[in-house]
Structure 1
Amino acid sequence: MGRTVDQEVHAAFVEFRAKEDDKVRCVVYFCLSVQCIYCQQIRAKNTSRQKQHLLECPGLRGHPNAPQPSQPAQAAPNGIGPPNGYPGTPNGPTATPSGPSGPGTIPAPNGTLMTNGVNPHATPLQAPLQALQNRAAMATPVQATGPPSAPPSAASRPTPKPKSKNSTSSLPAPPLDDVHAAFVEFRAKEEDKCLSVQCIYCQQVRAKNTSRQRQHLLECPTYLSVMKDSIPANNLLHTFPEGDVARSLQIPAPTLELDFRMSIKMNPKVNVGAGIWGQREWVSFIGGQWAGRWGKGIVLPGGQDTQLVTKDSATNLSASFMLQTVDDPPAFIVVRTDGWLTGAKDVLEKVIDSNMADGVNPGSYKYRVNLSMETGDERYTFLNTLMWIGSGCRRGHEVIFDSFRVN
């Protein structure tokens, strides 16, 4: 009785690299093609399709050893079946692809070899396979061309690691540009139609496939280590423990974009007196103007700034005022600011003095506030969820500052 398809599928096909004239798309790890030893048909290496081909192969029609559909193997009387699916020979064990005579020669069970290297006692399926293997072994190899540091040959390449469906890394999938930059492309042989790639981090070689290359990076220990080191939070003086999920998160960094400039004129400050937190002062706004990317208008009179001056003259600022746009009808926007005026004590003493503030370089102190806005006007509701950082300076009884939107 013939062998099953499962037993026959590997013996009935000869593997080789695709040549220029082979119109076969290779999708396996080493870009291998296979040729049926019965009908000489060439196809990409794919075990399932090879099994199906054997069941329909015209060269096997009527063949006494044509493979049968897979079925459970029948055990020998002692309960142990033949290891390779072939019955044992009366003269000894079946032939093996290599032996004492070296690669490319197959010793017959009785120790004899035919002049062409074919075992005369081999089964009908082994003989044509052996002849094709011998011809392939005698073919002159083509010198491989590759990147400056040539990857290992097919025989010495490491066995690819099993691919896990779910990556254990919490790093985001690398962008396409990073995927391309992480692999060097080359052709293992000049006649190969399929490109191979080599990971610059771990030197692993694989067939070119962007999706699998991206998945490889998420499993490559060297790449993951480099990516973790590039996360700003992991380069601080104190970091999260190794293995903590927070150590692997690449969080987007906000940017600042100049959004508008504002000028506010103030009345002379009113000294409320010393409190438990410091010297309390009250400043009311005369009005002002503003202009920026999304509109322009005026600062309405009536706003106020409650200031708290510390013993070092650093001043905590907390203001609330209202903007009016130039639209018809105008929109009204409530603005709230909180921040600090800080610097050297002698510099700050001059800044808070309206008569001396004009002569102080704004770069010698820090006037920093954060801003938020609120409005019910549908034309400007987008402002309700935005944030700004303001950088300002004092000019007599006037405060001028730029507001940078946090993106």
Structure 2
Amino acid sequence: MARHIEQDVHAAFVEFRAEEGDKCMSVQCIYCQQVRAKNTTRQKQHLAQCATYLQAHPDVVIGGPSHPHPGGIGGITDAAADGYADSPSLDGSADPTTALSGYPAPTPTRVPGVNVNVNGTPNIQPPRHSLSTPADGTPSAKRQKVAKANTSSLPEIPLREVHAAFVEFRVKDDDKCVSARCIYCNQVRAKNTSRQRDHLLSCSGYQSVLKEKIPANNLRHQFDEDDVASSLALPSPTLDLDFRLSIRVKPKINVGTGNFGRQSWISCIGGQWAGRWGKGTVLPGGQDMQTTVKDMSTHISARYLIQTQDDNPAVITCNIKGWWLGEKDIMERLQDPVAADNIAAQRYKFRVTMELETGDPRYAEINTGIWVGSGCRRGAEIVYDAYRVN
């Protein structure tokens, strides 16, 4: 069954006010994101020319039986203009489609600007005022310009920035229409949100300001200006304290000097953890292998098993890797469990990354998480705060 464009005139647009004090409502097409004044007729005209909408609904009929279109161009009747005049077919039958296929032809729906060829196939002509496409399928220069702007790697321009980038004025005191001047290049445009946004996508002044807002472009060393990486605004990760892990350990066992430094082995005898998504215990048997280099900087590589306090507890592996850094005399004092209690955690840097893994479906979401942690040593206990990377 054919789909009529009237069915989507309202569903295809989202209403909004550009500013809280605006009296007039605007609408934005959910298919191509273009902004239009809230007007049913213009919304219908927009959908008839919206390539994204027409691709999503290939069976759409422009103008249904409840909204018939007027007669053809220049006073020509519907039948003559649309090619549905009663004319004999090639073999004398009433319908060429019936004669060729043996099946009755479906009743056509008249669409303005659509003629029918001799073989019964529709000959679609572009609507008046639309961007024309040559016979070879190559889009016109205007269409190419719009397509290039929409595929820009620059971040999407929020509506509030579109309005902030233009100053409204009247060329003459008695002008009814308001014009807008770009504050970045001083070019004057008609007051139209869609055209103002398209202008900003090609405005070198605005693009240079937009690139300066990208954090990666404020580094000491940067990508070349024409490289795509210089125009990408990536989301910045955030950190949320997710859980605290306290591990009781046995005295350190010195293994000896290896290829990369002095190695030590520290065994876990238990502990506990508590956080945003649960709490429980640290099972005995975990191991922490530490490698200390000449300046006493120590690499941490630990693997523990933690357990939830559920009636049917889940078992989770916890892998920890990182570095324990500080001044040499501080690091030497930290080797003594008694002296370590008198050294504040701010005197050294104990930073690690963590990964959790479990086969229990109740906690499956932790399998894709990443945590960074800050640790400290207190006598026979190591404590970590784990921050989830979002």
With structure 1 as the length reference, what TM-score do the two structures score? 0.58
3-state SS of the aligned residue for 1:265? Answer: strand
Aligned to 2:295: 312
CA contact 2:146–2:198 (8 Å) conserved in 1:
no
Question: What is aligned with 1:166?
Answer: 148
Structure of greater relative contact order (alpha carbons < 8 Å, 6+ residues apart): 1
What's 1:404 paired with? 387
Q: CA deviation at 1:361?
A: 1.6
> Map of 1:235-246 to 2, 5 A cutoff?
235-246=218-229
8 Å Cα contact 1:261-1:401 kept in structure 2: yes
Map residues 245-284 of structure 1 onto 2, 5 A cutoff: 245-284=228-267
Alignment of structure 1 residues 200-211 onto 2, 5 Å: 200-211=183-194
The answer as to 2:360 corresponding to 1:386 is: no
Show the counterpart of 1:323. Answer: 306
Q: For the Cα contact (< 8 Å) 1:173–1:218, is it kept in 2?
A: no
Q: Deviations over 1:353-395 (max 9, x none)?
A: 2111111121111000000011111111110111000001111
- Structure that is richer in helix per residue: 2
- In 2, the alpha carbon distance for the partners of 1:348 and 1:193 equals 77
Superposition CA RMSD, Å: 2.4
The residue number in structure 1 matching 2:163 is 180
Identity of aligned residues (%): 58
What amino acid maps onto 1:165 in structure 2? A
- 1:307/1:183 CA distance change after superposition, 3 Å: same
Which amino acid counterpart does residue 208 of structure 1 have in structure 2? K
Q: CA separation in 1, counterparts of 2:286 and 2:296?
A: 23
Residue deviations 1:220-246 (CA, integer Å, cap 9, x gap): 101111122222222222222221111
Match of 1:298 in 2: 281
- 1:191 deviation in Å? 5.8
Aligned match of 1:367: 350
Cα separation, partners in 2 of 1:206 and 1:285, compared to 1, 3 Å: same
Asked if 2 retains the 8 angstrom alpha-carbon contact of 1:259 and 1:403, the reply is: yes
Say whether the 8 Å CA contact 1:256–1:406 is kept in structure 2. yes
Letter in 2 for 1:226: V
- Report the structure number with the largest CA radius of gyration: 1
> Does the 8 Å CA contact 1:283/1:304 hold for their aligned counterparts?
yes
Gaps of 5+ in 1: 1-51, 57-161
Partners of 2:282 and 2:171 in 1: CA distance:
71
Q: What is the aligned partner in structure 1 of residue 11 from structure 2? A: none
Partner of 1:346: 329
Q: Offset at 1:343?
A: 1.1
Count how many residue pairs are aligned between Structure 1 and Structure 2: 252
Task: Please give the per-residue CA displacement for 1:146-176, whole angstroms capped at 9, x wherever unaligned.
Answer: xxxxxxxxxxxxxxxx954322742122122
Q: 1:273 Cα shift?
A: 0.8
Counterpart position of 1:213 = 196
Q: Deviations over 1:52-80 (max 9, x none)?
A: 9x957xxxxxxxxxxxxxxxxxxxxxxxx
Structure 2 SS opposite 1:179 = helix
**Distance in 2 of aligned mates of 1:236 and 1:244:** 15
Match of 2:24 in 1: none
Give CA-to-partner distance per residue, 1:192-244, whole Å, 9 cap, x none.
55443322211222223322222221111011111222222222222222211
Contact 1:169 1:219 in 2 (8 A): no
Distance in 2 separating the partners of 1:193 and 1:261: 66
